[in-house]
Structure 1
Amino acid sequence: MRFLVMGAGALGCAFGGMLADGGYEVVLIGRERYMRPIKERGLKITGIWGKRIIRDVVTASKPEQEHRPDVVLLTTKSFDTERAVMDLKPVISRDTIVISLQNGIGNEEIIARHLGEGRTMGGMVITGFEMRAPGEVEVTVSADTTKIGELDGSITERLEEIVAIFNDAGIPAEAVNNINMHIWAKSLYNAALNPLSAIFRVNYGRLLDSNAFAIIREIIKEAFEVAAAEGIKLFWDDPERYLDHLKNSLIPPTARHRSSMLRDIERGKKTEIDFLNGVFVRLGRKHGIPTPVNETIVRSIRFLEGLLQSQMP
């Protein structure tokens, strides 16, 4: 099975590198400044998935006809999903599967709108990755296995094959029949922690402070109201049960992680806030549900984006 990783940042390089080290055909598509060191020196992976250097990794700055993948792992930022799908269209076949391993809500819908639901799968990754230097990725923390699922909830032969390949390559993964529930669960986690880590410049563990967690509580309460109005089924019956899960099960194993949004802010880059807390704001307006805390979070991150971008040389 041939894999193409579209948007090979830290997560994409880690997944692609593990698959390549496992003997599978992989092409990494990413920015030239990140791909060139991999081509010249190989890809170094360290951290909780083990230490390895993968030589002769195939890299490119854009997908080409000769790549012809069986499976695309889409790991771009959520605001780049549509552009990435359009770039993929000329080089994939009618049987190619595109799996979103991205943050946020709505990526699978964008992919399916252009390629069809039958060529789209959803994924949920709740593992931390950091690009220590071009060509060097550390897998830092993990709160769960990667979940992969068909949009219609069926457990298909192709889904089980992909998950088996992931596990064989050292990527802990699981096939699920409720991927949308997992995606919403990850979005709750991200919306609660990602922006506050960026605003306060702290790791996730520091957000257990009572003042920070009081903000998290309001973020989650608004998200649950919106999900109920939208008819979204969640794993938890009420926000307090989720907050207990977040406090006792999710934050401890990822306590030292600093959010990708914080790294984006520090580098003067655009964040994914519109696909995280911004989704709750938009759906709240749709259903006439006030979401003042999530809206304040969105505005705060947008302010930081503009402030730091204006200070970049």
Structure 2
Amino acid sequence: MKINSIYFLGLGALGAKYAASLVDYNENLVKVIVNEERKIRYETEAICVNGKKYDFEYVTSIQNNQFPDLIFLVVKSNQLNDAINDLKPFVGENTMIVSLMNGITSERILAETFGWNRVVNAVAYMDAVKQGNHVTYGSIGRIIFGHVENKSQDILNELHQLLNDAEIPNELTLEIERAQWAKYIVNVVGNQLTYLLEFPYGQFRTNEYLNHLVDLIGKEVITVANAYGVSIGQPEIDKLKKTMKIVDENGKTSMLQDREAKRYSEVDEFSGEIIRLGKQYEIETPYNELIYNMVKAIEKTY
């Protein structure tokens, strides 16, 4: 199967960055799913990525029964239910949905509606920041993807080659759940700490107290992951520390950007999910319970 069309649902920092990269590779490949209100707004004030203006092709419905080969879903976890309703008219018999959402639950929820045969698990590492319609990033980042049951390998191999051709770093893995949990540590630990402390990435380079907190919270995530059946450990925490030290020191996590914009965060998908799984496996998660309630207390002031 040759990939001829990729749609995006979600033009936040991550979605805009990768949509722009694919447009630079082939402008006829990409369309963006929007409603009429967003279509008018984006056509009036275009998205800019690293200073370059992008006039994406926006679609509000399927034309001539031509469904996309792939849809990249790039929304916040608290927007997933609405996104599923938005996706339904665009998912054809052979359409695959690649979830670039944070966390570990979106694919399961998508599969409940569309079936596992149409869902691809993925994670993305990036340092993009969005202010208004302007997105900036220092590194293109990396996408890791695969099917949880290691199916649909033909189209996944095709996607791997396409991303290589577009010069988007990527990895097709047979251990996607392990890769997702490794990224999930970044979300649960890094995102939430920067939210509460209002720190950019640069603090991870020099602040020994922050690094101690990373160890404490990270160990809770590892304990829960192991009970869940995913083999991760201290190497993933060490990799988290290394990653946080090499990204743009002035960059901000998506969760910190949410706080600054007084948007509700993905705390339910992060510490909230760790707490839920901890109760399921009879594992105590006091650090995540503290974080969860502190974030909710801040959000209640919005």
Fold conserved between structures, TM > 0.5: yes
Residue 33 of structure 2 corresponds to which residue in structure 1? 29
Deviation of the 1:88 alpha carbon: 1.3
Structure 1 letter corresponding to 2:189:
A
- Give, in whole Å, the separation in 2 of the partners of 1:211 and 1:8: 35
TM-score (normalizing by structure 1): 0.86
Deviation of the 1:86 alpha carbon: 2.4
Deviation of the 1:129 alpha carbon: 1.4
Deviates most, 104-113 or 18-27: 18-27
- Give, in whole Å, the separation in 1 of the partners of 2:108 and 2:156: 18
CA contact (8 A) 2:145 2:173 kept: yes
Residue 184 of structure 2 corresponds to which residue in structure 1? 187
Deviation of the 1:283 alpha carbon: 0.5
TM-score (normalizing by structure 2): 0.89
CA contact (8 A) 2:120 2:145 kept: yes
SS at match of 2:299: helix
- Give, in whole Å, the separation in 2 of the partners of 1:204 and 1:165: 31
- Give, in whole Å, the separation in 2 of the partners of 1:131 and 1:36: 20
Residue 73 of structure 1 corresponds to which residue in structure 2? 72
Q: CA RMSD in A?
A: 2.2
Match of 2:278 among 279, 284, 299: 284
Deviation of the 1:272 alpha carbon: 0.6
Per-residue CA deviations over 1:44-101 (Å, capped at 9, x if unaligned) read 322xxxx64434x2125xx412272211100011122232122211232111000000
CA contact (8 A) 1:123 1:149 kept: yes
- Give, in whole Å, the separation in 2 of the partners of 1:210 and 1:31: 46
Note if 1:3 corresponds to 2:1. no
Match of 2:21 among 18, 39, 42: 18
- Give, in whole Å, the separation in 2 of the partners of 1:52 and 1:174: 27
- Give, in whole Å, the separation in 2 of the partners of 1:231 and 1:161: 30
Match of 2:236 among 231, 242, 254: 242
Deviation of the 1:39 alpha carbon: 2.4
Residue 43 of structure 2 corresponds to which residue in structure 1? 39
CA contact (8 A) 1:8 1:30 kept: no
- Give, in whole Å, the separation in 2 of the partners of 1:276 and 1:127: 18
Show structure 2 runs of 5+ residues with no match: none
Note if 1:256 corresponds to 2:250. yes
Show structure 1 runs of 5+ residues with no match: none
Structure 2 letter corresponding to 1:29:
I
- Give, in whole Å, the separation in 2 of the partners of 1:91 and 1:165: 21
Match of 2:227 among 226, 229, 242: 229
Which residues of 2 match residues 265-284 of structure 1 at below 5 A?
265-284=259-278
CA contact (8 A) 2:275 2:288 kept: yes
Note if 1:301 corresponds to 2:295. yes
Deviation of the 1:40 alpha carbon: 4.1
Structure 2 letter corresponding to 1:197:
T
Residue 219 of structure 1 corresponds to which residue in structure 2? 217
